[in-house]
Structure 1
Amino acid sequence: MWSCQVIRKGKKCSPSMESFEDLTEESKKLAWSNMNKLTLQSSHKIHKEAVTGITVTLSGTSVFSTSQDSTLKMFSKEGSGLQRSVSFSNMALSSCVTLPEDKTVVCSSWDNNVYFYSIAYGRRQDTLMGHDDAVSQVCWRDNQLYTASWDSTVKVWKCVAADISSNKRNPFELLAELEHEAGVNTIALSPAGTLLASGTKEGTLSVWDVGSFSLLHQLSCHSGKIHQVAFSPDSRHILSVGEDSYLKVTDVQTGMLLSTVPAENEQRCFCWDGNTVLSGGKSGDLFIWDLLTSKIMHKIPAHSGPVTCIWMNEQCSSIITGGEDKQIMFWKHQY
């Protein structure tokens, strides 16, 4: 159990906050221990090509998905219906993230641009033309936007959510450019937002200090493309999956590879709690792994082609998957 001596913006947690956090941690543990009881709630074929990204508003009412068909779709969780479809160019969109206050969705595109979509106004609000090749992924934390690109860089931009939604002119300031030796395919921030992990098309994993924008570790992790990287909840480990059909765990402090787990087929995407992994495979199945034993504990039939993205809520109780079969699928635990 994480101690609640973690200080929230300089203040110790109140007893009520502590019990709330304990409750949240307990519910997460329960969700992960029951991951094999995931059941499909509904599936929706709303895209014409592979789904590339999923994000959900904080209120939980609207689901956004990006696709290689170049569209951003807005889907209602309650009404289970497609509400909006928007296209920014004729090139594939590669990822999406919702900014705080549920006012803006940020989308990365293969046309080298990043697009900002206003949820309230239902239109494109801004465009960031920041790269020389396709933008593969975006993530946001503490007024900083991170954009990964096949131009071999990750760029860090000052990006205040309120400035975007209030239509402030030129809201982007380039803070750093993190150089790589190959196209960057995936990025992830640590839970505290102090570290960034990046994975390239050539299998290199890099760990960066966000405060100084300095490179801490770099290792040849996979043979071939790294599909996804993610920190463990305690930020001590990074899990990566690659084209070489391995799941690999790297120690953040030392930069050393701790474990290599072979998979029967390529795993494209995942969520994890530091030990248990829920991954989406090229076969279309969802797999539940125990990293301590390096074994698959459960397999759940899901998509009719490779699973391309997984979204999980903070409580780990609600899961949405996207696939090359153009579908998004909603999953729940059946306790």
Structure 2
Amino acid sequence: MAAHPSQPLYLTGGADGSVQLWEWGHPSCVWSPRAPGAFAKVTRVRFSDYGNKFAAADADGNLAMWQLHPSAQQHDTTQPHAPARPFFTHQCHSKGISDFVFLGSCSLVATAGHSSESKNVAIWDTLMPIKKALVVSWTCHEGGAACIAWAGSAGALVSCGRRGDVFVWDLRTRASRHKLHAHHAPIKCVALSHQEDQYAIGAADGDIKVFSLMTHQLLHTFAGEHARSSFFKHIGQGVTQIHIDNAGRLFSCGADGTMKVRKLPERDAPPPHHAHY
């Protein structure tokens, strides 16, 4: 699922390959850009920063992108829009896309997935012809990349792998700024803080770690935040979703069926004042 940045709309992507647009308060979807049955399981849906376009990635490695037309909000809820042709579609990774992110308000999109030649993180210009759309790709993350986040203020891309490794990429130089081995277990999800100065990663062993984006130091560890596995085997293992809001609260969901919220400790807090007598 993905929420629209400003309107009461949200997207869903299904295991049947379908992509649907919904409006809060309406029992049925208002638009089905992609019907079920023709594509592999949807692995991620996202809106762009302004919400004027959205995209869906699937387990076959396809990325498809649609314009969100004004008519999508001024709809007749009894007659959902018919499936629409995406303005961009391409198989970006040969063995599946696990995550993607819009790089700000421009036409660039970064994808994280698994390719046969191990080019598991790539950047695409969605306005270019398909043969020229690939901007850069990196051979990294043995076994595939699991998730990705974009820190626009720092010009940095954070990608995490299925073997517990993290890369911080510099988009200006198109090179790696830093690499670290963050977890012994596969990383499942990543989230940036509102200030984009730190990021949290959740792993299949249920641990959450928070790192500084500037110094790459480990700031916090929350061990065993979620049980490694549970009755809900089909969901995955450990931490499955993570988010940091603008109040510094860390939200996490797990394969144990729970959602947890904790306040991240303040950084660089002044030492307590002691009066001298």
- Corresponding residue of 1:136: 98
1:196 corresponding residue in structure 2: 157
Greater RCO, 1 or 2 (C-alpha within 8 Å, sep 6+): 1
Q: Deviations over 1:163-182 (max 9, x none)?
A: xxxxx854962111122132
Runs of at least 4 residues off by over 6 Å: none
Q: Which amino acid aligns with 1:231?
A: L
The TM-score, its normalising length taken from structure 1, stands at 0.63
> What's 1:306 paired with?
none
What is the letter of the counterpart of residue 250 of structure 2?
Answer: V
Find the counterpart in structure 2 of residue 271 from structure 1.
243
Q: Which amino acid is 1:99 matched to?
A: S
CA distance in 2, matches of 1:236, 1:291: 13
Q: For the residues of structure 1 that align with 2:191 and 2:52, how far apart are their CA atoms?
A: 26
Structure 1: gaps (5+ residues) = 1-53, 161-167, 294-335
Partner of 1:260: 221
- 1:134 Cα offset (Å): 0.2
Query: Is 1:247 aligned to residue 170 of structure 2?
Result: no
RMSD of aligned alpha carbons: 2.5
Q: Aligned with 1:175: secondary structure?
A: strand
Matched, 1:79 2:23: no
**Residue of 231, 237, 262 corresponding to 1:289:** 262
Q: Deviations over 1:145-199 (max 9, x none)?
A: 1111122411111235xxxxxxx85496211112213200100011526111111
In the alignment, structure 1 residue 105 sits paired with structure 2 residue 78: no
- By percentage of residues, which structure has more strand? 1
Q: Which runs of 5+ in 2 are unaligned?
A: 70-81, 228-237, 267-277
Mapped partners of 1:101, 1:253: distance in 2: 27
The one-letter code sitting in structure 1 at the alignment partner of 2:202 is V
Q: Aligned partners of 1:210, 1:170: CA distance in 2, in Å?
A: 21
Taking the aligned partners of 2:252 and 2:258, their CA distance within structure 1 comes to 8
Aligned partner of 1:22 in structure 2 is none
| Kept in 2: contact 1:159–1:171 (CA 8 A) | no
Scaled by the length of structure 2, the TM-score of the pair is: 0.75
Contact 1:248 1:259 in 2 (8 A): yes
1:46-76 CA distance string (max 9 Å, x none): xxxxxxxx22334413211112232112212
Residue 100 to residue 200, structure 1, CA distance change in 2 (3 Å)? closer
Residues 255 and 63 of structure 1: CA distance in aligned 2, closer, same or farther (over 3 Å): same
Name whichever structure is richer in helix by fraction.
1
Q: Aligned partners of 2:17 and 2:251: how far apart in 1? A: 27
User: How many equivalent pairs are there?
Assistant: 233
- What SS is found at the alignment partner of 1:192? helix
